[in-house]
Amino acid sequence: MIFEQVSTGGCQSYLVGCGETCAAAVIDPETSQVDRYLALAARDGLRIRYVIDTHTHADHFSATRLIAERTDARVVMHRSTGARDVDMRVDDGDMVVVGKLRLQVLATPGHTKDSMCLVAEDRVFTGDTLLIGGTGRTDLPTGDSGQLYDSLFGKLLKLDPKLLVYPAHDYKGRTHSTIGDEIASNPRLAKTERAAFIDMMNNLNLGMPTHITEALRTNLSGGKTVAQMLAEAAALVPFISMGQLRTRVEAGEKDLVVLDVREREQYAEGHIAGAQLLPRGQLELRVNQELPDPTKRIVTVCELGRISTLAAATLRQMGFQRAVALDGGMKAWREAGFPVES
Ligand SMILES: [Fe+2]
Protein backbone atom coordinates (compact mmCIF):
# COMPACT_ATOMS: atom_id res chain seq x y z
CA MET A 1 0.00 0.00 0.00
CA ILE A 2 1.25 3.46 -0.89
CA PHE A 3 0.34 5.80 1.92
CA GLU A 4 0.57 9.58 2.39
CA GLN A 5 -0.74 11.55 5.35
CA VAL A 6 -1.54 15.24 4.82
CA SER A 7 -2.13 17.51 7.83
CA THR A 8 -3.93 20.84 7.62
CA GLY A 9 -4.03 22.45 11.01
CA GLY A 10 -5.60 19.67 13.05
CA CYS A 11 -7.28 17.99 10.07
CA GLN A 12 -5.75 14.75 8.84
CA SER A 13 -6.32 13.43 5.34
CA TYR A 14 -4.88 10.48 3.49
CA LEU A 15 -3.87 9.34 0.04
CA VAL A 16 -3.83 5.55 -0.21
CA GLY A 17 -2.81 3.73 -3.34
CA CYS A 18 -2.21 0.32 -4.82
CA GLY A 19 1.41 0.08 -6.02
CA GLU A 20 0.57 -2.74 -8.39
CA THR A 21 -2.28 -1.10 -10.32
CA CYS A 22 -1.58 2.60 -9.56
CA ALA A 23 -5.18 3.18 -8.43
CA ALA A 24 -5.67 5.45 -5.40
CA ALA A 25 -8.21 6.97 -3.06
CA VAL A 26 -8.13 10.17 -1.03
CA ILE A 27 -9.79 10.14 2.39
CA ASP A 28 -11.18 13.33 3.99
CA PRO A 29 -9.49 15.81 1.63
CA GLU A 30 -9.42 19.50 2.53
CA THR A 31 -9.93 22.32 0.01
CA SER A 32 -6.64 24.13 0.61
CA GLN A 33 -4.65 20.95 -0.18
CA VAL A 34 -6.11 19.97 -3.56
CA ASP A 35 -2.89 20.69 -5.46
CA ARG A 36 -0.94 18.71 -2.85
CA TYR A 37 -3.07 15.55 -3.22
CA LEU A 38 -2.78 15.74 -6.99
CA ALA A 39 0.96 16.37 -6.78
CA LEU A 40 1.53 13.48 -4.34
CA ALA A 41 -0.51 11.16 -6.55
CA ALA A 42 1.54 12.23 -9.57
CA ARG A 43 4.83 11.83 -7.69
CA ASP A 44 3.82 8.34 -6.51
CA GLY A 45 2.57 7.37 -9.98
CA LEU A 46 -1.04 7.06 -8.80
CA ARG A 47 -4.37 7.79 -10.41
CA ILE A 48 -7.06 8.95 -7.97
CA ARG A 49 -10.17 6.78 -8.45
CA TYR A 50 -12.17 7.60 -5.31
CA VAL A 51 -12.49 10.57 -2.97
CA ILE A 52 -14.05 9.55 0.31
CA ASP A 53 -15.45 11.60 3.19
CA THR A 54 -15.75 9.55 6.38
CA HIS A 55 -18.67 11.84 7.33
CA THR A 56 -20.17 15.29 6.74
CA HIS A 57 -17.53 17.60 8.19
CA ALA A 58 -18.65 20.58 10.23
CA ASP A 59 -15.22 22.06 10.80
CA HIS A 60 -13.44 22.08 7.46
CA PHE A 61 -14.26 22.33 3.79
CA SER A 62 -14.34 19.03 1.94
CA ALA A 63 -12.42 18.88 -1.33
CA THR A 64 -14.02 15.70 -2.63
CA ARG A 65 -15.99 17.48 -5.35
CA LEU A 66 -13.03 19.68 -6.38
CA ILE A 67 -10.77 16.63 -6.78
CA ALA A 68 -13.52 14.71 -8.59
CA GLU A 69 -13.85 17.53 -11.11
CA ARG A 70 -10.13 17.51 -11.81
CA THR A 71 -9.59 13.75 -11.94
CA ASP A 72 -12.93 12.09 -12.78
CA ALA A 73 -12.67 10.28 -9.42
CA ARG A 74 -15.94 9.27 -7.78
CA VAL A 75 -17.18 10.83 -4.53
CA VAL A 76 -17.93 8.19 -1.89
CA MET A 77 -19.91 8.60 1.35
CA HIS A 78 -22.08 6.53 3.64
CA ARG A 79 -25.57 5.91 2.22
CA SER A 80 -27.28 7.87 5.00
CA THR A 81 -25.47 11.11 4.23
CA GLY A 82 -27.44 14.30 3.61
CA ALA A 83 -24.73 15.50 1.21
CA ARG A 84 -25.68 15.94 -2.43
CA ASP A 85 -23.25 15.19 -5.23
CA VAL A 86 -22.26 11.78 -3.93
CA ASP A 87 -21.48 9.35 -6.78
CA MET A 88 -21.28 6.17 -4.77
CA ARG A 89 -23.18 5.64 -1.51
CA VAL A 90 -21.83 2.75 0.54
CA ASP A 91 -23.22 0.66 3.37
CA ASP A 92 -21.79 -1.22 6.34
CA GLY A 93 -19.84 -4.23 5.08
CA ASP A 94 -19.30 -2.86 1.58
CA MET A 95 -15.83 -2.67 0.12
CA VAL A 96 -14.38 0.10 -1.98
CA VAL A 97 -11.98 -1.61 -4.35
CA VAL A 98 -8.93 0.47 -5.20
CA GLY A 99 -6.87 -1.69 -7.55
CA LYS A 100 -5.70 -4.58 -5.36
CA LEU A 101 -6.39 -2.58 -2.23
CA ARG A 102 -9.67 -3.08 -0.35
CA LEU A 103 -11.25 -0.44 1.86
CA GLN A 104 -13.76 -2.15 4.12
CA VAL A 105 -16.65 0.08 5.21
CA LEU A 106 -17.68 0.04 8.86
CA ALA A 107 -20.76 2.16 9.55
CA THR A 108 -20.07 3.94 12.85
CA PRO A 109 -22.80 6.54 13.48
CA GLY A 110 -22.54 8.76 16.54
CA HIS A 111 -20.29 11.72 15.78
CA THR A 112 -22.68 12.16 12.83
CA LYS A 113 -25.25 9.75 11.54
CA ASP A 114 -23.27 9.30 8.30
CA SER A 115 -19.95 8.48 10.01
CA MET A 116 -17.99 5.49 8.81
CA CYS A 117 -14.56 3.98 9.31
CA LEU A 118 -12.48 2.33 6.61
CA VAL A 119 -10.26 -0.67 7.25
CA ALA A 120 -7.37 -1.20 4.85
CA GLU A 121 -4.86 -3.99 5.53
CA ASP A 122 -3.06 -3.12 8.79
CA ARG A 123 -4.86 0.14 9.51
CA VAL A 124 -8.23 1.75 10.06
CA PHE A 125 -9.22 5.26 9.08
CA THR A 126 -11.47 6.24 11.93
CA GLY A 127 -12.77 9.62 10.77
CA ASP A 128 -14.03 11.45 13.85
CA THR A 129 -15.41 8.30 15.47
CA LEU A 130 -12.16 7.56 17.31
CA LEU A 131 -9.37 10.08 17.77
CA ILE A 132 -6.01 9.63 19.48
CA GLY A 133 -6.87 10.05 23.15
CA GLY A 134 -10.38 11.21 22.29
CA THR A 135 -13.52 10.68 20.26
CA GLY A 136 -15.49 12.90 17.94
CA ARG A 137 -18.05 15.14 19.65
CA THR A 138 -21.73 14.27 19.48
CA ASP A 139 -23.33 17.70 19.98
CA LEU A 140 -23.22 18.85 16.33
CA PRO A 141 -26.06 18.18 13.83
CA THR A 142 -27.05 14.47 13.59
CA GLY A 143 -24.68 13.54 16.46
CA ASP A 144 -25.83 10.95 19.02
CA SER A 145 -23.76 9.84 22.00
CA GLY A 146 -25.66 6.56 22.45
CA GLN A 147 -24.94 5.63 18.85
CA LEU A 148 -21.29 6.60 19.29
CA TYR A 149 -21.06 4.28 22.29
CA ASP A 150 -22.53 1.42 20.25
CA SER A 151 -20.24 2.12 17.29
CA LEU A 152 -17.14 2.20 19.50
CA PHE A 153 -17.76 -0.55 22.02
CA GLY A 154 -19.94 -2.71 19.79
CA LYS A 155 -17.82 -2.49 16.66
CA LEU A 156 -14.62 -0.48 16.30
CA LEU A 157 -12.93 -1.51 19.54
CA LYS A 158 -13.62 -5.16 18.76
CA LEU A 159 -11.25 -5.01 15.79
CA ASP A 160 -7.71 -6.40 16.05
CA PRO A 161 -5.93 -4.38 18.77
CA LYS A 162 -2.84 -4.20 16.53
CA LEU A 163 -4.69 -2.21 13.82
CA LEU A 164 -3.17 1.22 13.31
CA VAL A 165 -5.60 4.08 13.97
CA TYR A 166 -5.50 7.01 11.54
CA PRO A 167 -8.07 9.62 12.62
CA ALA A 168 -9.50 12.62 10.74
CA HIS A 169 -8.13 14.96 13.40
CA ASP A 170 -5.22 15.38 15.67
CA TYR A 171 -4.33 18.71 17.17
CA LYS A 172 -1.11 17.61 18.87
CA GLY A 173 0.97 16.56 15.88
CA ARG A 174 0.57 12.79 16.46
CA THR A 175 0.18 10.76 13.28
CA HIS A 176 -1.46 7.54 14.50
CA SER A 177 -1.94 5.08 17.35
CA THR A 178 -3.44 1.59 17.57
CA ILE A 179 -6.80 0.19 18.66
CA GLY A 180 -5.03 -1.49 21.59
CA ASP A 181 -3.34 1.74 22.71
CA GLU A 182 -6.66 3.57 22.60
CA ILE A 183 -8.45 0.92 24.64
CA ALA A 184 -5.63 1.10 27.17
CA SER A 185 -5.18 4.85 27.48
CA ASN A 186 -7.97 6.87 25.81
CA PRO A 187 -9.73 8.65 28.72
CA ARG A 188 -13.10 8.73 26.93
CA LEU A 189 -13.01 4.97 26.50
CA ALA A 190 -12.53 4.58 30.25
CA LYS A 191 -16.30 5.10 30.50
CA THR A 192 -17.17 1.57 29.46
CA GLU A 193 -20.70 1.71 30.79
CA ARG A 194 -23.24 3.06 28.28
CA ALA A 195 -25.09 5.52 30.52
CA ALA A 196 -21.84 6.93 31.95
CA PHE A 197 -20.41 7.37 28.45
CA ILE A 198 -23.54 9.17 27.24
CA ASP A 199 -23.56 11.37 30.32
CA MET A 200 -19.90 12.33 29.78
CA MET A 201 -20.44 13.08 26.05
CA ASN A 202 -23.54 15.17 26.73
CA ASN A 203 -21.70 17.34 29.23
CA LEU A 204 -18.51 18.24 27.38
CA ASN A 205 -19.69 21.84 26.80
CA LEU A 206 -17.45 22.41 23.79
CA GLY A 207 -17.39 25.66 21.85
CA MET A 208 -18.78 25.66 18.31
CA PRO A 209 -16.18 25.10 15.57
CA THR A 210 -15.41 28.16 13.50
CA HIS A 211 -17.01 28.15 10.04
CA ILE A 212 -19.58 25.53 11.11
CA THR A 213 -22.44 27.14 9.16
CA GLU A 214 -20.37 27.58 6.02
CA ALA A 215 -18.77 24.11 6.30
CA LEU A 216 -22.12 22.36 6.70
CA ARG A 217 -23.73 24.41 3.94
CA THR A 218 -20.99 23.80 1.39
CA ASN A 219 -20.22 20.20 2.38
CA LEU A 220 -23.89 19.23 2.19
CA SER A 221 -24.73 21.09 -1.02
CA GLY A 222 -21.47 20.98 -2.98
CA GLY A 223 -21.66 24.78 -3.03
CA LYS A 224 -18.67 27.11 -2.87
CA THR A 225 -17.03 28.67 0.16
CA VAL A 226 -16.38 32.41 0.33
CA ALA A 227 -12.64 31.70 0.09
CA GLN A 228 -13.23 29.65 -3.06
CA MET A 229 -15.32 32.43 -4.64
CA LEU A 230 -12.58 34.94 -3.90
CA ALA A 231 -9.80 32.64 -5.13
CA GLU A 232 -11.65 32.00 -8.38
CA ALA A 233 -12.24 35.74 -8.90
CA ALA A 234 -8.62 36.55 -8.04
CA ALA A 235 -7.42 34.04 -10.63
CA LEU A 236 -9.29 35.96 -13.34
CA VAL A 237 -7.85 39.43 -12.74
CA PRO A 238 -4.53 41.25 -12.51
CA PHE A 239 -3.94 43.59 -9.58
CA ILE A 240 -2.35 47.01 -9.27
CA SER A 241 -0.33 48.10 -6.23
CA MET A 242 -1.37 51.10 -4.15
CA GLY A 243 1.86 52.95 -4.98
CA GLN A 244 1.41 52.35 -8.68
CA LEU A 245 -2.19 53.58 -8.58
CA ARG A 246 -1.27 56.69 -6.60
CA THR A 247 1.45 57.58 -9.13
CA ARG A 248 -0.95 57.16 -12.03
CA VAL A 249 -3.75 59.12 -10.35
CA GLU A 250 -1.36 61.97 -9.51
CA ALA A 251 -0.05 61.98 -13.06
CA GLY A 252 -3.64 62.46 -14.22
CA GLU A 253 -3.48 59.45 -16.53
CA LYS A 254 -6.22 59.92 -19.12
CA ASP A 255 -7.64 56.46 -19.76
CA LEU A 256 -7.65 55.48 -16.07
CA VAL A 257 -10.95 55.05 -14.20
CA VAL A 258 -10.78 54.49 -10.45
CA LEU A 259 -14.06 52.73 -9.70
CA ASP A 260 -15.05 52.80 -6.03
CA VAL A 261 -17.48 49.92 -5.49
CA ARG A 262 -18.32 50.62 -1.82
CA GLU A 263 -21.61 52.14 -0.65
CA ARG A 264 -22.33 55.88 -1.06
CA GLU A 265 -21.76 56.72 2.65
CA GLN A 266 -18.32 55.08 2.75
CA TYR A 267 -17.41 56.82 -0.51
CA ALA A 268 -18.53 60.19 0.87
CA GLU A 269 -16.33 59.75 3.93
CA GLY A 270 -13.19 59.52 1.83
CA HIS A 271 -12.14 58.20 -1.56
CA ILE A 272 -9.24 58.33 -4.00
CA ALA A 273 -9.09 61.63 -5.94
CA GLY A 274 -11.36 61.47 -8.99
CA ALA A 275 -12.78 58.05 -8.10
CA GLN A 276 -16.13 57.23 -9.63
CA LEU A 277 -18.80 55.66 -7.39
CA LEU A 278 -20.60 52.51 -8.50
CA PRO A 279 -21.61 50.25 -5.58
CA ARG A 280 -20.95 46.53 -6.13
CA GLY A 281 -24.63 45.76 -5.65
CA GLN A 282 -25.54 47.89 -8.69
CA LEU A 283 -22.53 47.02 -10.85
CA GLU A 284 -24.08 44.82 -13.53
CA LEU A 285 -27.24 46.89 -13.95
CA ARG A 286 -25.60 50.32 -14.15
CA VAL A 287 -22.38 49.44 -15.89
CA ASN A 288 -23.58 50.54 -19.35
CA GLN A 289 -24.42 54.08 -18.20
CA GLU A 290 -21.47 54.45 -15.85
CA LEU A 291 -18.71 52.90 -17.95
CA PRO A 292 -19.53 53.52 -21.60
CA ASP A 293 -15.94 52.96 -22.80
CA PRO A 294 -14.86 49.32 -22.31
CA THR A 295 -11.31 50.10 -23.50
CA LYS A 296 -10.55 52.19 -20.39
CA ARG A 297 -8.26 50.87 -17.69
CA ILE A 298 -10.64 50.39 -14.78
CA VAL A 299 -9.24 49.94 -11.27
CA THR A 300 -11.79 48.65 -8.77
CA VAL A 301 -11.44 49.77 -5.17
CA CYS A 302 -13.30 48.74 -2.01
CA GLU A 303 -12.62 48.87 1.73
CA LEU A 304 -10.65 45.64 2.21
CA GLY A 305 -9.76 44.48 -1.31
CA ARG A 306 -12.14 41.53 -1.53
CA ILE A 307 -15.31 43.02 -3.02
CA SER A 308 -13.12 44.90 -5.49
CA THR A 309 -11.65 41.58 -6.65
CA LEU A 310 -15.14 40.18 -7.25
CA ALA A 311 -16.11 43.40 -9.06
CA ALA A 312 -13.05 43.33 -11.33
CA ALA A 313 -13.73 39.68 -12.19
CA THR A 314 -17.35 40.55 -13.05
CA LEU A 315 -16.18 43.44 -15.25
CA ARG A 316 -13.72 41.17 -17.08
CA GLN A 317 -16.49 38.65 -17.67
CA MET A 318 -18.64 41.47 -19.04
CA GLY A 319 -15.97 42.47 -21.55
CA PHE A 320 -14.02 45.18 -19.74
CA GLN A 321 -10.75 43.57 -20.71
CA ARG A 322 -8.54 46.03 -18.85
CA ALA A 323 -10.32 45.84 -15.48
CA VAL A 324 -7.87 45.33 -12.60
CA ALA A 325 -8.32 45.28 -8.82
CA LEU A 326 -6.41 47.34 -6.29
CA ASP A 327 -4.02 45.15 -4.28
CA GLY A 328 -5.35 46.34 -0.92
CA GLY A 329 -8.31 48.56 -0.12
CA MET A 330 -9.20 51.97 1.22
CA LYS A 331 -8.38 50.86 4.76
CA ALA A 332 -4.79 50.07 3.75
CA TRP A 333 -4.71 53.18 1.56
CA ARG A 334 -5.60 55.43 4.53
CA GLU A 335 -3.22 53.55 6.84
CA ALA A 336 -0.41 54.17 4.33
CA GLY A 337 -1.15 57.88 4.64
CA PHE A 338 -2.11 58.16 0.98
CA PRO A 339 -4.34 61.14 0.08
CA VAL A 340 -8.15 60.87 0.20
CA GLU A 341 -10.87 63.25 -0.90
CA SER A 342 -14.20 63.59 0.83
FE1 LIG B 1 -16.12 15.77 12.09
CA separation (Å) from 175 to 7, 15, 119, 123, 210? Answer: 9, 14, 17, 12, 23
Tell whether the model's pLDDT for residue 129 goes beyond 90: yes
Of residues 173, 23, 25, the one with CA closest to residue 90: 25
**Average pLDDT of span 187-194:** 96
What residue segments make up the domains of the chain, in order of their start?
Answer: 2-223, 228-335
Residue 318 carries which side chain, given as an amino acid letter? M
Judge contact between 62 and 18, C-beta under 8 A. no
CA separation (Å) from 180 to 164, 245, 285? Answer: 9, 63, 64
pTM of the predicted structure, to 2 decimals: 0.84
The alpha carbon of 58 and the centre of ligand 1 are apart by a number of angstroms equal to 6
DSSP state of 207: P
The alpha carbon of 55 and the centre of ligand 1 are apart by a number of angstroms equal to 7
Percent of the chain with pLDDT strictly greater than 70: 100
Write down the pLDDT at residue 210.
84
The alpha carbon of 178 and the centre of ligand 1 are apart by a number of angstroms equal to 20
The alpha carbon of 56 and the centre of ligand 1 are apart by a number of angstroms equal to 7
User: Which residues are close to ligand 1, an ion, with C-beta < 5 A?
Assistant: 57, 128
CA separation (Å) from 29 to 4, 104, 227, 260, 284? Answer: 12, 19, 16, 38, 36
**Average pLDDT of span 303-317:** 97
The pLDDT tens digits of the residues spanning 66-85 come to 999 999 899 999 999 999 89
**Average pLDDT of span 206-231:** 91
The alpha carbon of 217 and the centre of ligand 1 are apart by a number of angstroms equal to 14
Alpha-carbon distance of 238 to 313, in angstroms, equals: 9
The alpha carbon of 117 and the centre of ligand 1 are apart by a number of angstroms equal to 12
Alpha-carbon distance of 235 to 210, in angstroms, equals: 26
The alpha carbon of 169 and the centre of ligand 1 are apart by a number of angstroms equal to 8
**Average pLDDT of span 166-189:** 97
Write down the pLDDT at residue 103.
98
Give 49's pLDDT tier (boundaries 50, 70, 90).
very high
**Average pLDDT of span 194-209:** 94
The alpha carbon of 142 and the centre of ligand 1 are apart by a number of angstroms equal to 11
- What CATH class is the domain 228-335? alpha beta
Tell whether the model's pLDDT for residue 341 goes beyond 90: yes
Q: Give the mean pLDDT of the chain.
A: 96
Query: Would strands 95-98 and 101-107 be described as parallel, antiparallel, or unpaired?
Result: antiparallel
The alpha carbon of 209 and the centre of ligand 1 are apart by a number of angstroms equal to 10
Tell whether the model's pLDDT for residue 295 goes beyond 90: yes
DSSP state of 309: H
Residue 234 carries which side chain, given as an amino acid letter? A
DSSP state of 304: S
The alpha carbon of 281 and the centre of ligand 1 are apart by a number of angstroms equal to 36
Give 209's pLDDT tier (boundaries 50, 70, 90).
confident
Query: Would strands 47-52 and 130-131 be described as parallel, antiparallel, or unpaired?
Result: unpaired
The pLDDT tens digits of the residues spanning 60-71 come to 899 999 999 999
The alpha carbon of 292 and the centre of ligand 1 are apart by a number of angstroms equal to 51
Q: What is the dihedral of CA 62, 87, 77, 15, to 10 degrees?
A: -60
The alpha carbon of 57 and the centre of ligand 1 are apart by a number of angstroms equal to 5
Percent of the chain with pLDDT strictly greater than 90: 95
Strand partners, 271: 341
* DSSP percent split of the chain into helix, strand, coil, nearest 5: 35, 25, 40
- What CATH class is the domain 2-223? alpha beta
Alpha-carbon distance of 249 to 272, in angstroms, equals: 8
Reported as half-sphere exposure (CB side, CA atoms, 13 A), residue 93 has a value of 0
Write down the pLDDT at residue 18.
97
Write down the pLDDT at residue 149.
98
Judge contact between 107 and 96, C-beta under 8 A. no
Alpha-carbon distance of 198 to 17, in angstroms, equals: 37
Judge contact between 29 and 37, C-beta under 8 A. yes
Write down the pLDDT at residue 199.
97
Give 96's pLDDT tier (boundaries 50, 70, 90).
very high
Q: What is the dihedral of CA 273, 279, 282, 287, to 10 degrees?
A: 20
Tell whether the model's pLDDT for residue 187 goes beyond 90: yes
Same fold, 2-223 and 228-335: no
